[in-house]
Structure 1
Amino acid sequence: MHVIELVFSVQDVARTRFSSSPMDHLLLGAVAAGPGHYVGASSTRERWWRGARAHVPRKAAPFIELVNASSVQMPDFFGAGIAGDRRRIGDELDHIAAVCDDRVRSDLAIYDAMPQVPRIVEELRDEGARGLRRVAEAAWALHRACLAPDWRDMERLIQADIQRRARVMAEQGVGVMLDTLHPQLAWGERGVLQYTEPPSYGDGIWSVPLDGRGLELRPSLFLQEGLGFLLQDGRPPALIHPVAVGSHQVPPDPGDGLTALLGPVKARALRAIGAGLGTAELALRLGIKPPAASAHAAALRTAGLVTTTREGRSVRHTLTPLGAGLLDANPQ
């Protein structure tokens, strides 16, 4: 049995905080995860990728290749942390691109034991920080083409999760909140948070004192089974955890007439259809399964707000003049 222990002091408890990171989602979204992969399978990530992969630009290749160079771990420079509870992808990528030559080559040592070192790793070893800037540009291209269109809706789901957990922390304490964060996490009275990994990870206990730095909790829609630990020396400790199922209920925007008329889900569906999304993309945007997305589209069609046409194996929804008029009268 392999156990990771995070040892809290009183200061660490007081400095436990939440944040959201588009870079976390870009990394996990680009991972070709599955059985045996350290990230684990995620149906939410797979649904997103199915809709996004047709839009992946060629320029994104270096980033995707590096993210998938190993099924064991990623280089530490991807975890280069910045402050802020709602991070911006540009700031995160700038921080990564600023990593020095020596740190780039040191972090790439994780690939030394591989029978054949991936080409992108060899290129980065030769180019150092210049090559990492190229990877950061590739990540930006992927974000702009594939993640940015959905990030606003994803951020609302993440913030709903954060608000729920912050409420538990305020009412019942940090320990209760951490103890309910994930089934494999357990909070002990002596201020130790334990994570028990699957047996395939081996035996032993890795104990990490937080040393007054606190712990940053970063919910992820693309993490379903396990947890992600960012525990590099000299950087703020962070824990990436799945968004709870209950947080997928997005609160309506106050003062939104379209939501008052149609309800929150159908209002978001109409806006998504207005953005040109088909049924699969609509399901991803709403955080629901495709049959449920089809049902919402059918309800909007019955109300005379959209029309639907089939193009081969895909379905295309289009706003009617009435639907377009409603969106014009109720801008977000």
Structure 2
Amino acid sequence: MLRIHFTSDDLVRTRIVPAADPLWEIALSICRLAGRRGQAMFAEWRHQARDGLAKSDALDIVRRVLGPLYRGTSLFIPDFLTPPDSSLGLDAGVDAVLSTPRLLLRQELDKLAGLARTPTWAWGLADGRKDAFHDLRDGLYTYFDTALRPHWSNIQGMVDADRAMRGRAYLEGGVEAMLSSFRPAMSWESPVLTVAGHPVDRDVHLGGRGLVLIPSYFCWGAPVPLADPDLPQVLVYPIQRDRMLGVHKEHSEQQPGTPIGRLLGPTRAAILRATVNGATTSELARRHEISAPAVSQHTQVLREAGLIVSQRAGPSVIHTLTPLGRALLMGATMARGPFAGERRGDG
């Protein structure tokens, strides 16, 4: 059981990151790829990821480089693999990983060695060997491009929907109401946030640092904290998922006859615009003066097209734009996700 103790300063400094974190999703998806937890939810994604890695000849580098570091378990993920810079995008996160001081790298690898055998190549990181850093960089990019990038718009859309739900709780009752919204994964009884399913009995006192909450598609079961309680604290939590990755194909073309082509109707287009900041079915019905069942029919079409996601929050259903839906409203041909404009460095 994990107990996180807040002060009044911590409540003020607690926030939810604005987007899915690519390095945390890499770490936790590798756990899902190698482990058995969440088999039904991730079955189709797991099949597609393994098939894609095998076809691109990337399976070897993932097995040799990434697999031994993550070990297929979230019980211990070396903290240097999930830096806060990753919230700014994949390139920023990878640059931060590769810039980790050598002393810290050795300390993290020593921790890993205490739980399982650290791969031989990884000690080259602590020794400053360029080939080791190149292997890690190539492994991270190759895995993300093959296993996650094809689904990133859907992942981000579901993260957006979860954040909208938490934001509504915050607007209605402040940060304590937002923390209460995480039941049953976490329970809030001021001033302590309790994670009942955490495998280690531990108390973390934030001491004014605040808490950064990171919504994750691939987090399964108990939320995951950083291993080192002395670092600025983050807590990765599982979002509510309204679809399984790989089952609903993401649409990138706006052709007549596809679900996206059916959006030409004025009412449906207006409903799509109204979901920019999230809206419930009843709110959309009131705003457009149509019945709730009619709204549900329109939102079903938008959901099938991959333009919105819908999440239940108590008695209400909240509809939120996906990146693809936002790109359509902006006149773009497809959603580019949070990596637009980024270029990989040679590092």
- TM-score between both structures, scaled by the size of structure 2: 0.64
- The runs of 5 or more residues in structure 1 that have no matched partner are 249-255, 273-284, 288-328
Q: Is the 8 A contact 2:157 2:309 kept in 1?
A: no
Give the secondary structure class of the aligned counterpart of 2:231. coil
The number of equivalent residue pairs is 257
Match of 1:27 in 2: 27
Q: Which moved more, 1:26-35 or 1:141-150?
A: 26-35
Q: Distance in 2 between matches of 1:174 and 1:93?
A: 31
Match of 2:337 in 1: none
Match of 1:185 in 2: 186
Is 1:259 matched up with 2:263?
Answer: yes
Match of 2:41 in 1: 44
What code does the residue aligned with 1:180 have? S
Q: Distance in 1 between matches of 2:196 and 2:302?
A: 42
Residue 215 of structure 1, CA deviation = 1.0
Q: Is the 8 A contact 2:25 2:218 kept in 1?
A: yes
Is 1:227 matched up with 2:200?
Answer: no
Match of 1:81 in 2: 84
Residue 69 of structure 1, CA deviation = 3.0
Deviations 1:141-160 (A, max 9, x none): 11122211221221111111
Sequence identity percentage: 20
Match of 2:50 in 1: 53
Q: CA 1:174–1:231 in structure 2 vs 1: closer, same or farther (change >3 Å)?
A: farther
Residue 286 of structure 1, CA deviation = 8.6
> What root-mean-square deviation, in Å, do the aligned CA atoms of Structure 1 and Structure 2 show?
3.4
What code does the residue aligned with 1:79 have? T
Q: Is the 8 A contact 1:265 1:286 kept in 2?
A: no
Residue 238 of structure 1, CA deviation = 0.8
Is 1:4 matched up with 2:8?
Answer: no
Residue 236 of structure 1, CA deviation = 2.4
Q: Distance in 2 between matches of 1:42 and 1:100?
A: 37
Q: Is the 8 A contact 2:204 2:229 kept in 1?
A: no
After superposing on structure 2, the runs of 4+ consecutive aligned residues of structure 1 that deviate more than 6 Å are: none
Q: Distance in 1 between matches of 2:125 and 2:188?
A: 44
1:282-301 mapped onto 2 (5 Å cutoff): none
Match of 2:113 in 1: 112
What code does the residue aligned with 1:80 have? P
Residue 113 of structure 1, CA deviation = 3.7
Q: Is the 8 A contact 2:158 2:242 kept in 1?
A: no
Q: CA 1:64–1:264 in structure 2 vs 1: closer, same or farther (change >3 Å)?
A: farther
- The runs of 5 or more residues in structure 2 that have no matched partner are 245-259, 269-297, 311-330, 335-347
Residue 196 of structure 1, CA deviation = 1.8
Residue 111 of structure 1, CA deviation = 3.3
Is 1:147 matched up with 2:145?
Answer: no
Match of 1:215 in 2: 211
Give the secondary structure class of the aligned counterpart of 2:84. coil
Q: Distance in 2 between matches of 1:162 and 1:238?
A: 16
Q: Distance in 1 between matches of 2:15 and 2:309?
A: 27
Q: Is the 8 A contact 1:62 1:135 kept in 2?
A: no
Q: Is the 8 A contact 1:165 1:177 kept in 2?
A: yes
Q: Is the 8 A contact 1:28 1:222 kept in 2?
A: yes
